[in-house]
Amino acid sequence: MKKSLLAAVIVASLMPMGSLALAVETTVQKPSRAQTEEALSLLYRNSLESQWTLKSASSNSSRVEYFSKLFLQRKSPYLVDPLGEGEAGELSRKPLYRFDGFDCTTFVETVLALSLSQSPEEFRRTIDQIRYKDGRVSYETRNHFSSIDWIPNNTHAGFVKDITGSIAGAQTKWSQTWIEKDQWFRFKGEAYEHLGRQFGKVLAEIPYVAKEDLLANPDLVKRIPSGTIFHVVRPNWDLKKTIGTKLDVSHQGFLIREKGVLYMIHASNGASRDGSDNEKRVKKEPLTEYVQRVMMASPSTAGMNLLSVQSR
């Protein structure tokens, strides 16, 4: 998740044996605004020349696959909290968007905005609508928490739809976690404390497919559409002593199917299948291998929430 929530605190979902580790930022020089705008224009110029637009111009899954694989091919580095509210931001003046590196949340947000937009102009509007409640850019309105901000606000905006229940059916499980957003702002320091005064303790509820079911039921995995957004659900993940609140989501990315195999494409903080790869970048690995290697080794991870990308 972004530094404002997870990556600056602790990101454990990708670590070998579910151990906790501090997220360390890969050193990448921030591009200039002109370089970012040129990169954005080039992304759409190249996409118009690619076969995916000719074969399935209206397919969200094809667009998600195209852009997620593009950053995978580039081995885009993992960056902690790379985005902010731009030059006019009160608390974070990092750029509103960039394409040279991501954390797990900004990777999903960027690919989603690119996939749902047909031009640079539309992308600029869409990325703000995805990252902020009602598209109003401010640190206060940024979708910091997955279960109480990101998922409900993007569902309301029409960008995503929860399909967990339709995939898991009677096997669907529910996580319930008290999120204390006011305390989280307070823990961030005096400059942020006033932002939390309007918030209170909220019971977050999020459906998920249990990790055991993802391994034991191949037919269930086959029902997951390519292009699905996943969230790793971690009920009552107790970080109150560190950030002031419990959390219930620790990672997100995309599920892409290739030749019958469902893969995760996600901005990884460095964990590999054998524990020896310390690269931090956009990676791909089979879903079932990740569940076995990471989630089954971590008692606090419960399963995955699943969202489909929607046409507006």
Q: Report residues of the chain scoring pLDDT below 70.
A: 1-28, 49-58, 271-278, 312
Q: Are 101 and 79 in contact (CB under 8 A)?
A: yes
What pLDDT, on the 0 to 100 scale, is given for residue 1?
A: 54
DSSP-assigned states of every residue in 200-240 = -EEEEEEEEEEHHHHHH-HHHHHTSPTTEEEEEEEEEEE-H
Q: Give burial (CB, 10 Å; 0-12/13-18/19+) of 228.
A: buried
Q: Give residue 208's region: left, alpha or beta (phi > 0; psi -120 to 50).
A: beta
Strand stretches in the chain, DSSP E: 160-162, 173-180, 201-210, 228-238, 246-258, 261-267, 282-286, 303-309
Residue 111 lies in a domain: yes
Altogether, the residues listed in the chain come to a count of 312
As given in the structure block, the two tokens for residue 280 are: 């931090």
Q: Provide the 10 A C-beta neighbour count for residue 251.
A: 29
Residue 4 lies in a domain: no
As given in the structure block, the two tokens for residue 86 are: 């731009």
Going by C-alpha positions, the residue among 167, 28, 21 that lies closest to residue 101 is 28
CA distance 1 to 220: 27
Residue 10 lies in a domain: no
The tens digit of pLDDT for each residue in 184-224 reads 999 999 999 999 999 999 999 999 999 999 999 999 999 99
Rounded to the nearest 5 percent, the helix, strand and coil shares of the chain are 40, 20, 35
Query: Which range of residues forms the domain containing residue 274?
Result: 16-309
CA distance 80 to 183: 22
Going by C-alpha positions, the residue among 309, 266, 226, 307 that lies closest to residue 1 is 266
Residue 25 lies in a domain: yes
3-state secondary structure of 21: coil
For the chain, how many structural domains are there in total?
A: 1
Q: Are 13 and 269 in contact (CB under 8 A)?
A: no
What pLDDT, on the 0 to 100 scale, is given for residue 276?
A: 45
What pLDDT, on the 0 to 100 scale, is given for residue 271?
A: 57
Residue 273 lies in a domain: yes
As given in the structure block, the two tokens for residue 103 are: 């954390």
CA distance 3 to 267: 14
What pLDDT, on the 0 to 100 scale, is given for residue 57?
A: 47
Residue 3 lies in a domain: no
Whole-model pTM: value is 0.88
Give backbone dihedrals phi and psi of 34, rounded to 5 degrees, phi first.
-65, -40
Q: Are 165 and 207 in contact (CB under 8 A)?
A: yes
Residue 116 lies in a domain: yes
| Domain CATH code at residue 121 | 2.30.260.10
Residue 220 lies in a domain: yes
What pLDDT, on the 0 to 100 scale, is given for residue 13?
A: 32
CA distance 78 to 91: 22
3-state secondary structure of 186: helix
Residue type, 305: N
Distances (CA, A) of 160 to 17, 152, 182: 31, 9, 27
